[in-house]
Chains A and B, each alone.
Chain A
């Protein structure tokens, strides 16, 4: 079975601080994908990134960066110079190879509060 753990329930930072959201996953599959989604108060899940298990290169997109380490089964997400608009719940998710399905297993989410 697959499992995603986001140990940080809630994080509060002051604007312009850097913040890292942790994600640890469990799977016996060698082929899998990892995701991060953002859920603002409106409720819609916004896709941020997808990374496959064979690509351990770190990714940077503007103020966002992701660190994927298979050795520790972690896929951490860092926001640099956080802004109030970054306030949201962030979910890490895992999808494994089931042949014909695309089921996502989500973590419990980390609520990020960015204040002025």
Chain B
């Protein structure tokens, strides 16, 4: 079945450091790919998405490129801030079911210190 694998956390960085959170997927067909973020005490929020190969999603300085050849959707940010501390979830939508059922990874906690 479809699945998403993302790097285990926590990822601990100092402010202004470069961030990469790896995400790879297994899917039949051509899913859409998403990064969701969960800030402390809040619900899941969409951070960015890409709906086809080679698309780049971007938002709030974060970027991820849909790489079909490596089945990856790694999240990057050039300079993290303390306010980026959160749990990040990579997800795909199963298009073969005719609707957008999301399959999530286990999440990666990011801790940014001043």
A binds B: no
Residues of A within 8 A of B (CB): none
